Structure 1
Amino acid sequence: MIRISFRARLLLLFIGLAGGVLLVTLVAVTFATDKQAELTVERELAVSERVLGELLKRRGEQLEQAAQVLADDFGFREAVASGDQATLVSAMVNHGDRIGTQLMALYSVNGEELASTHQLSPGTDFSLLRGVRLIDGELFQLVTVPVRAPDVIAYATLGFVIDDQLADGLKQLTNTDLTFFDSQGQRALASSLAGPMQRELLEAVSQEQVNQWLTENELAGHLSRFNTVELLVSTSRSDATQAFQTLRTQYLGFGLATLLVALMLAIATARYFSQPLARLTQAADALRRGRYDAPLNLQRKDEFGQLGATFDTMREAISEREQRIVYQLEHDLLTGLPNRESFYKQLNERLAQKQSGVVVVLNIMRFRSLNDRLGQSFGDQVLQQVAQRLRDSFAEGCFIARLASDEFVVLCDSDQAEDIKSSLKALQRTQWRIGEASYRIEFRSGAVRFPEFGAEVDVLLRRGQLAAQLARSEKQLLADYQQGSDESYLRRLQILQALPDAIVNRKLQLHYQPKMDCGTGQVNGAEALIRWQHEQLGVIRPDEFIPLAEQSGDILRVTRWVCQAALDQQQYWLEQGIDIQMAVNLSALDLQADDFAEFIATELRARHLSPTKLTLEVTESAVMADLEKAQKRLKELRELGCKIALDDYGTGYASLAQLKHLPLDKLKLDQSFIRGLDSDANDRIIVQSTLSLAHELKLQTVAEGVEEQAAWRLLRQMGCDTLQGYYFSRPLAAVEFEQWLKNEAPRFTNQNKKAITNE
């Protein structure tokens, strides 16, 4: 792209304005002069035509008078009356010589020639013979008068010849050319044109291209007709417009002179403005490149001087602001430590220089809980003190940065690796005083060496975080990264990436685990449990991908797919005569979705299913995530007619006070209490009290995790309503479930009858 300087643009502006005015004026003058020239040409042609007409008129009057004198001559009339041929000829010749006529003729009233200098066309009405006529190949102006004695006894015709001499004379008067020619264009009868031009004209006439001939010869002309004779009045356009051409030339010269003056003025003005602007541009460019040490100092009293002073002030302010911005970009504003950007830069430099060292990722235990309970201000003070203690605890050569929230990172050389653990222990033993109180703060950290375990910043940081997670799970202060420990992380990442496709393309499956009536041993329901078999990842357990789906938000689509698939299966079973209760699990996010109840209602209506045949199971933790919203959503679902079950009761955070306010129909005892029921007295006490409490609250009870007949017997004695567990069946695919109902389910009914009989 071409860059044009301000000076050049200013010059172009001046020249453009002056040139534009000159051009517009020149166009206007040209248009006006062309129009006036055309009018002048037309005026000359019109004048020439009037002059010719006036000339012919005068000559006609002269001929008329001469002819009348001849016709009134007594001797001439006597000669006509007596038929004296010699007298007639003598009188006509003498009269013609006296007035200078070239044609004289005398005819009787019957058209008989009495005397004539030229042969006229037979059959001519001589009483009307006048005007311009072609006679014997010559062009004449004729007049005819009657000879009376006293009646008309003859007609006398006199004529002046129209020739080149007449045309030349008229040209001298009017500066226009006259050309008389016959209508077929065979020859010119009278013309002021030169011989070659006459021939060109006759050729153009024969081809009916007179206008083209005029244009080619830069002529203007008018064409008129006299009987069988054509008249062309023509004049030179260049001669007629010469004065206007001169005027345009003079104006153009004046305009160019004006343009030259404008150019000189523009150069002077541009120099006056461009010099300070050029210095300002150079200073701005230096500022763009980061040079802030060059003052402008225009030393002018005008607006440019004020602009220069303002620019210098701005330069100083930008320099200070940039220093602050650079610091803020590279440091955490709360703690004053370098930030993630600085850490990446520092570690990349060490990796590029092939240095070795250790990256330690440090997390504050339960920081979010502290922040939520004691306030953000308290959390900020903790972070500030931790940052200061990290500076004090680690060697001077270590690089310390804050990555995010409660996560810090320490970058040390290899020879400082031995001091890291002792520095962390010293930090752990520190008493933390925030305000007026003392607190104990614990840390978990993970260390990864480079370049042994990675030569990229993101890889090292991820592996350091994995080591910190290991330290958290093992309740250690520091854990080293172990080769291959990030495979689970990569697997989780692959699961997250594959889950949306599995939902859309229905690669998930449902298995159904039967629910048994505790008193009769009959099947009264089934719980829909999701399964996923991936082509590359193999079997993915629900406890592996469901938490990831909850983190990513895909759990909403998973739950809705489960509901649709389970209701489709329930509809099919009803059509096959299998009438059982269907149970579906919900997540915390499902209870927060405002349209979930409407979704369930729509799906039930679409399949003509009764809401009372659907049980929606929610965990205590899901309810407690947002108790108010959970109560509202469960109330909507229960009003719809669905049954609500609280799953995994006893392992969450629900209290008895909260339990009585939840719109529940069923209470599911967690399997951790059921598995030791036969051998652990405490479990029996907990289960018995829970069943009694549930029945007092008018809730049905479900015990999951039943794996032995002895547990069934004890639960029947305690009054449990429904059983679920591997003793009866593991979760089965739909076809397998149908076969189990047919082949295995009756066995438990019979077994229960025998057990009751034996008791």
Structure 2
Amino acid sequence: MTSLRSQLVLAFSGLLVAALVSITWVVINTTRAAADNFAERELAIAEKVFIEQLLNNQRQLTGRARLLAEDFGFRKAIATGEQETLISVLANHGDRVGATLVMLAEPDGKIVLASHNLDASDRRLRDVMASGSNATSQILVAEGNAFQLALVPVMAPNLIAWVGLGFAIDQAALDALKAITKAEVALEIGGRLSLSTTAQIHRKTSIAELQASADWLVRQVKLDTSDPADLNAYLLASPAELSAPFAQLQQQMQLIAVFALVITIAAAVMLAKSIAQPIGFLVSAADRIASGDYDKPVEQFRSEELGRLAKALNALQSAVKHREAHILHQATHDEESGLLNSYGLREALAELFKDDKVFSFSLVSLENYSRISDLYGYSFVRKHLPVLAEQLVQRLDADSLVARVARDQLAVVAKQPIESLNSALADAMAAPWPAGQVQIQWDIKQGLMACPEAAADSEQLLRRANVALKQARLRNIPAFTYQSGLDEQYLRKLNITQRLQRVTETGGLELHYQPQSCLSTRKIVGVEALLRWNDPELGPVFPDEFIPLAEETGTISSLTQWVLNQALNDIKALALDYRLAMVSINLSANDLLDATMIQKLLAAQLSIAGSATQLEFEITETALVQDADTAVHHLHQMESAGIGLAMDDFGTGYSSLSQLKRLPVSKLKIDKSFVLSLVDDADDQSIVKATIAMAKALSLKVIAEGVENQVSAQLLQQWGCDVMQGYYLAKPMPLNRLIQWLKEYNESHFPQETVGN
């Protein structure tokens, strides 16, 4: 018979074995889960650093491209079309800043010069450049290689070109990204792996094979690329390498389990207490590490194996904590200066606003940053910028902080009063700064804010600080403190832009008409249709406000369509009471270059064929600057369909006789800026007389805008001007008032003639 003791030992041993096996299984699976979570978190952190590095490259590229775009000589070369000069300037600037790709494009995005073949991305680049006039960036494929490209508009003062600088995303770039992210990097071009930071990846032919393989964890990084189907970036990590510390932990756990099973027969109760309890602590520690809590150290045990296991967990916890802290620092600090970057600044400001702290803020612009960089070199400025930041911190209160938010901008947060902060920064920059063998005299301007009175959050603070900085520049003063209401203009533009999206649906648009009179006969020969907007929420919005915004946001076409439809309806109503020869409508540059809009204009002309009143469209020279060939082609289409054409605002834009003689226009409108002071300004008189003489030589009729008195009208008639328009004749008026005005005008000036059909 089996003794009771043996039975108890066997029974207790069986229970202990079952418990030990269960605990071991839990530890192994928990460790495996911790390893998987750790691997995913590492790749997520690596992705964040990867994107921040690309954004940092983008800021550098944009800053260097903007420097070139602001160069007077470069803009002059663009305006004059000096091909050799443009090539030389692009090449020299590209070499100086280390760019591997340089390009120049026309305002509509048509590429003029490029160091690489950009046919594969031409359409997307053209769309990007044609859609606005702000700096932008793209990641694209050229000649089988990937590039990070920054595009900056060249203004003089209007958009005359785009200049682009790019860095190659080559093997060296991938190796640098690997050094920062601590992850392998692979680049896929055209569906095949093109570059990678390890030869092991190149053994595979596609990302699909890598994803199917158990050797790699793969994470795609979303790129702002011109064609997502052609270029993709991936971060990869070896599960084996990431889980190595955990594998060691599992091996040690297995050894402990085997050892425990061997000695359980002799000392089940003792081992249950001495092994099961510590293992429970280790399981809790593994769970805690897997959840991201690295602060509490793992308890040490007397047992050698358990002690080694606890030490391994402590070492793993410390390594992961240090690594995550380093990556977090990279994500929140500027790489060049070591200061907080814009992301880190926003986090610091968020804490201050959350705690309702009182502080002063200064957005400091290093106005001569570009000049110093050009004079001493970019590497020189990069080397001494941290010294500047450190000395600034020493001049401020102990709790102050300095961040670098742009290439040439610093942000300073201090608890001292705003006047004290302004004085401290001004005094710090007043004397030359020693930088190696030279002395640098920094020229700064400040946008100052007193918080939290002037802003409720970090986004509002930075926006208003920029507004204050712009005021300092406009007023040419060292510093300007933000005042309530300064950003209302910005917010109003934003509101107008939003309301423009549905203005043709929400109502408030109305056409007013301003009569045009023949100077020799005094008969009314036509009217100009002028758009007016009285928004239900914004009230009256002037054309000078909403027309430029409509052109920028692409809503100008819907406005033109509304004006055209309304003018056609008004022509029919007008014909019932008065025979008017011409209704003139303004056509924007965007409309003139839009083939779809041209077809709509031709259809409108066809709909009124045979009517006594005909359409005329007024164009400006802007479209000719953007795309002269397309504009001329569309104008000839309109002229062939019987549509009258007039050149508006002549003399205020890029006036060119060579362009004018190409255009099928029959009239030329002298801008009102030359007519308003015609009586007293001898220069205006010379300009107007010369313009009239030139127009007559080209067989063009001349219309003078802005005629406000009889003397001006007499001078214009004396010099041979055909038609006048202005307040002297009549102000713009709605249709019902126009019909009444025409009746009264003709009864007064031509009583013997019958007005009407």
TM tier, smaller: 0.5 to 0.7
> Bigger shift: 331-340 or 671-680?
331-340
The letter for the 2-side match of 1:462 is R
Q: 1:392 to 1:270 in 2, by over 3 A?
A: closer
Instruction: Please give the alpha-carbon distance, in whole angstroms, between the structure 2 residues aligned to 1:608 and 1:378.
Output: 70
Secondary structure in structure 2 of the residue aligned to 1:414: coil
- Which residue of 1 is the match for residue 308 of structure 2? none
Deviation per residue, 1:281-324 (Å, 9 max, x gap): 345567789999997664889xxxxxxxxx99999998787556
Secondary structure in structure 1 of the residue aligned to 2:558: helix
The letter for the 1-side match of 2:677 is G
Instruction: Please give the alpha-carbon distance, in whole angstroms, between the structure 1 residues aligned to 2:430 and 2:26.
Output: 68
> Bigger shift: 614-623 or 690-699?
614-623
Deviation per residue, 1:460-494 (Å, 9 max, x gap): 23322332343344343432222233333443333
Deviation per residue, 1:499-538 (Å, 9 max, x gap): 3343113320010001111222111111111112233433
Contact 1:287 1:315 in 2 (8 A): no
Give how far 1:568 is off: 2.1
Contact 2:364 2:411 in 1 (8 A): yes
Secondary structure in structure 2 of the residue aligned to 1:654: coil
> Is 2:491 the counterpart of 1:493?
no
- Which residue of 1 is the match for residue 263 of structure 2? none
Contact 1:581 1:613 in 2 (8 A): yes
Instruction: Please give the alpha-carbon distance, in whole angstroms, between the structure 2 residues aligned to 1:561 and 1:386.
Output: 57
The letter for the 1-side match of 2:32 is L
Q: 1:416 to 1:522 in 2, by over 3 A?
A: closer
Secondary structure in structure 2 of the residue aligned to 1:595: helix
Instruction: Please give the alpha-carbon distance, in whole angstroms, between the structure 1 residues aligned to 2:639 and 2:418.
Output: 63
Q: 1:462 to 1:727 in 2, by over 3 A?
A: same
Instruction: Please give the alpha-carbon distance, in whole angstroms, between the structure 2 residues aligned to 1:746 and 1:381.
Output: 81
- Which residue of 2 is the match for residue 343 of structure 1? 345
Secondary structure in structure 1 of the residue aligned to 2:691: helix
Give how far 1:560 is off: 1.7
The letter for the 2-side match of 1:740 is W
Contact 2:507 2:535 in 1 (8 A): no
- Which residue of 1 is the match for residue 739 of structure 2? 738
Contact 1:276 1:298 in 2 (8 A): no
The letter for the 2-side match of 1:457 is S
Give how far 1:707 is off: 0.1
**Any unmatched runs of 5+ in structure 1?**
1-264, 302-310, 751-759
- Which residue of 2 is the match for residue 357 of structure 1? 359
Contact 2:366 2:444 in 1 (8 A): yes
Deviation per residue, 1:379-422 (Å, 9 max, x gap): 99999999999889988865444556876543333346434367
Q: 1:390 to 1:530 in 2, by over 3 A?
A: farther
- Which residue of 2 is the match for residue 280 of structure 1? 32
Instruction: Please give the alpha-carbon distance, in whole angstroms, between the structure 2 residues aligned to 1:614 and 1:369.
Output: 53
Secondary structure in structure 1 of the residue aligned to 2:450: strand
- Which residue of 1 is the match for residue 696 of structure 2? 695
- Which residue of 1 is the match for residue 682 of structure 2? 681
Instruction: Please give the alpha-carbon distance, in whole angstroms, between the structure 1 residues aligned to 2:642 and 2:549.
Output: 31
- Which residue of 2 is the match for residue 507 of structure 1? 508
- Which residue of 407, 412, 415 maps to 2:414? 412
Contact 1:351 1:451 in 2 (8 A): yes
- Which residue of 1 is the match for residue 46 of structure 2? none
Give how far 1:689 is off: 1.1
Instruction: Please give the alpha-carbon distance, in whole angstroms, between the structure 2 residues aligned to 1:679 and 1:530.
Output: 31
RCO comparison, higher one (Cα < 8 Å, 6+): 2
Q: 1:724 to 1:694 in 2, by over 3 A?
A: same
Give how far 1:601 is off: 1.6
> Is 2:534 the counterpart of 1:517?
no
Residue pairs, 1:195-210, within 5 angstroms: none
Secondary structure in structure 2 of the residue aligned to 1:525: strand
- Which residue of 1 is the match for residue 673 of structure 2? 672
Give how far 1:580 is off: 2.3
The letter for the 2-side match of 1:543 is D
Instruction: Please give the alpha-carbon distance, in whole angstroms, between the structure 2 residues aligned to 1:649 and 1:526.
Output: 19
> Is 2:475 the counterpart of 1:471?
no
- Which residue of 2 is the match for residue 613 of structure 1? 614
Q: RMSD of aligned C-alpha atoms?
A: 5.2
Aligned residues: 477
- Which residue of 2 is the match for residue 452 of structure 1? 453
Q: 1:576 to 1:536 in 2, by over 3 A?
A: same
Instruction: Please give the alpha-carbon distance, in whole angstroms, between the structure 1 residues aligned to 2:414 and 2:452.
Output: 13
Contact 1:393 1:427 in 2 (8 A): no
Q: 1:605 to 1:454 in 2, by over 3 A?
A: same
Give how far 1:646 is off: 2.7
The letter for the 1-side match of 2:540 is V
Q: 1:279 to 1:491 in 2, by over 3 A?
A: closer
Contact 2:405 2:411 in 1 (8 A): yes
> Is 2:589 the counterpart of 1:601?
no
> Is 2:312 the counterpart of 1:560?
no
Contact 1:292 1:316 in 2 (8 A): no
Deviation per residue, 1:261-297 (Å, 9 max, x gap): xxxx999999987653343334556778999999766
Instruction: Please give the alpha-carbon distance, in whole angstroms, between the structure 1 residues aligned to 2:663 and 2:393.
Output: 51
Contact 2:397 2:416 in 1 (8 A): no
Contact 2:429 2:442 in 1 (8 A): no
Instruction: Please give the alpha-carbon distance, in whole angstroms, between the structure 1 residues aligned to 2:522 and 2:380.
Output: 58
* Larger Rg, first or second structure (1 or 2): 1
**Any unmatched runs of 5+ in structure 2?**
1-16, 43-244, 256-312, 752-757
Secondary structure in structure 2 of the residue aligned to 1:453: coil
Secondary structure in structure 2 of the residue aligned to 1:675: coil
Instruction: Please give the alpha-carbon distance, in whole angstroms, between the structure 1 residues aligned to 2:338 and 2:483.
Output: 32
Secondary structure in structure 2 of the residue aligned to 1:599: helix
**In percent, how many aligned pairs have the same letter?**
32
Contact 2:360 2:451 in 1 (8 A): yes
Q: 1:343 to 1:637 in 2, by over 3 A?
A: farther
> Is 2:539 the counterpart of 1:538?
yes
Q: 1:348 to 1:611 in 2, by over 3 A?
A: farther
Contact 1:638 1:663 in 2 (8 A): yes
- Which residue of 2 is the match for residue 705 of structure 1? 706
- Which residue of 1 is the match for residue 646 of structure 2? 645
Contact 1:580 1:613 in 2 (8 A): yes
Instruction: Please give the alpha-carbon distance, in whole angstroms, between the structure 2 residues aligned to 1:540 and 1:472.
Output: 28
Give how far 1:557 is off: 1.3
